[in-house]
Each structure stands twice: as structure tokens, then as C-alpha cells.
Amino acid sequence: MKRRDVLTAAGALALTGCASEVSECQSSAGGDKQFNWKMVTSWPPNLPGLGTGATKLAENIEAASGGRIRIKVYAAGELVPAFEVFGAVSEGTVEMGHSAAYYWRGKSEATQFFTAIPFGMNVMEMNAWLYYGGGLELYRELYEPFNLMPFPAGNTGIQMGGWFNREINTLADLKGLKMRIPGLGGEVLRRAGGTPVALPGAEIFTALQTGSIDAAEWNGPYNDLTFGLHKAARYYYYPGWHEPGPVLECIINREAWAGLPADLQTIVAIACSALNDQMTAEYAARNALNLRQIKQEGKVEIRPFPDDVLSELHRITGEVYDELAANDQTVAIILESFSTFKETIGEWTAISQQAYLNTRNL
């Protein structure tokens, strides 16, 4: 029994990402003190998957802690705008946030590697890098100067390439294209001749319907149908070259985090890890059902991007990586870790998942 207790405690500590920093992560015993926190998100109210996931995270923490942590969740715009979550948590206006790291490229270009980058790793590979390849340590080092403690807390899996009101047959069709697309994917589009536009999710449908943008990526069929994007564009392209395994994050103000006793820190860490698994499963299931609905309605043309277009976007992506690494030492360090792990795990992916999927329908 004693051995089992020791192993359980060690595993829980590892989930906090602090196994090598025990002194920093341990606090005094919790007692009965109650913590009342606020969480702000980048998602519209009750948005399936993203918004409901943040709410579920808060509920799980409260239940597991026996009510010692109570978290009130605020959707985008209810307390702070969608793209101001990072600042609100960093400054201590609120204790907690749920969002995506690539929204903070204005703070550091390196943040984008902890959501998704073009032609990067899929969800399984991203989790492997974060939890067992050194990614989480780099993530936390990057966020420490901003007074933040980040946790992976959700993943949508590979996304679609987006909704378009024009056909994409060659790279020239991207020239002049105004598209809602965040992160490094937006920079690649810009270099291909398009114009990336930053818009929170709730504004995409109107912008696409009115023609103020020509195309938009948001997620996959599950959330895209929620927003009604299938009513605003004719063509639905795949694959999501720009977001192959996008990680969602829970960020916590470091002072608030340090104020939690060790047992509550463990509860928060495990709740984030659980959401990471649950959300991935939810999106896989719901995307499949909603894709079938799109096909049955027959009003949208679902198309693959041409190979030569993807090849050129891949080439441009390499140029973007090289320039960022040359100009930013932090990016260079993180890119080296990311790329090395991607190459290593890619060898296993090729003869496991990819090889199996290639043969499954023979």
C-alpha cells in the first residue's frame, strides 16, 4: 500500500510538469481554505467543444477539490475581449484563462509552436512532444516572464483547410485572397500572395457572408456547422495543413498558482490533462457526424487542395521557419526541439498509424 501511494503521488506530480522542480511546485497543506477564481476564454458562450470544454474544466476542478476551488467562467467579450485573455491572466486581473497560444504571437513568435504550426505534428505527436519530449518545459520557460503557468488543455485534432468562395486550383488563386487564418498559417498565406485577417470566431460568419473576407478557417465540421459557415461559402477544402494538431491551453497566473496548496495544484493539472484527452475524442466523434451531414445536404463541394499548391505552401513554410529562427533565439531553440522530435516520431508514425491507415480499406 505504501509503495502504491508513493507511485500515485509521483505520477500526479509528473502531470503538473514540475517533477524536476519539486520545491517550486510544493506548497503547504491545503486545509479548508476556499479559492474563488475567474476564468476568461477566447470562445463564444457555450460554443460546443471549446466553450463547453472550458466550462467542463472548471466544473471538474470544483468537483475534484470538493468545492475548495470555485471557478466562474467568462466567455469572450463577457469580461475581456477574445484576444486579451493572455494579458488579463498575466496581469492578475483574473486567475485563469482558456485559449490558444498562437493568438499571442505579438508577445512572442515562439508561442505559436505550442498550438500548431503549418505541416507540424498531429495530436498524438504533439502530446508526445509536450509530455515526453521536452516541449512542456520549453512552454513553461517561455511563459514564465509573462507571469503565467501554461497547461495543455484540449485539442481539436487536425482541422479542415477552410471555407472558400472561390476555387483553389493553383497557387495563383491565393493571390489577393482575404482569409481569416491565425498564426504562422496566416504568414504563409501572406507570402503566397493572400491577406490574412484576424477575427474571433463569433465574427467569421458575417464577414464571410458579406464578402469582407473571401475565405475562412475555423476548425472542422463540428464547430463550423455551429457557426453556419456552410451557409456562407461553397467550397470546403482539406487537409488543414496549417493546423495539424492544435493544442488548446489553460493559463494560470503564477501568483495564483503558487498560492494553491500542493494537492489542489495536482487536481488542476490532472483536470487539464483529462480535458486534453476528452476534447480530442469529442472532436473526432462530432466531426465525423457533422461531415456526414454536410455531405447529405449536398450544397457544399468538399475538395482536396491540389498537390502542387500544398507543395508550394510547404516550401514557403520552410522559409518562414528559417527566418524566424535566424531573428529570434527563443524560436530557434524551440524549433530545434520541435523539428528533432517531429523527425524522430515521424519514423514511428510512418510504420504504425500511417501504414495501417494505408491498408485499412484494401
Is the entire prediction scored with pTM above 0.85? yes
Strand partners, 180: 197, 216
Q: Is 91 helix (H, G, I), strand (E, B) or coil?
A: coil
The H or E element spanning position 330 is helix 329-349
Backbone φ and ψ for 194, nearest 5 degrees, come out as -90, 180
Structure confidence at residue 19 (pLDDT): 40
Structure confidence at residue 277 (pLDDT): 96
Predicted confidence (pLDDT) per residue in 304-342, tens digit: 999 999 999 999 999 999 999 999 999 999 999 999 999
Tell me which DSSP letter residue 236 carries: E
Q: Give the DSSP letter string of 198-235.
A: ---GGGHHHHHHHTSSSEE--S-HHHHHHTTGGGT-SE
Structure confidence at residue 31 (pLDDT): 65
Exposure string over 140-158, b if 16+ CB within 10 A, otherwise e = bebbeebbbbbbbbbbbbb
Structure confidence at residue 23 (pLDDT): 36
Q: Is 244 helix (H, G, I), strand (E, B) or coil?
A: coil
Backbone φ and ψ for 154, nearest 5 degrees, come out as 130, 155
Handedness of CA 184, 189, 192, 197 (dihedral sign): negative
Structure confidence at residue 205 (pLDDT): 97
Predicted confidence (pLDDT) per residue in 232-273, tens digit: 999 999 999 999 999 999 999 999 999 999 999 999 999 999
Domains and CATH numbers, the chain: 2-157+245-284 (3.40.190.170)
Residues of the chain predicted below pLDDT 70: 1-31
Structure confidence at residue 20 (pLDDT): 39
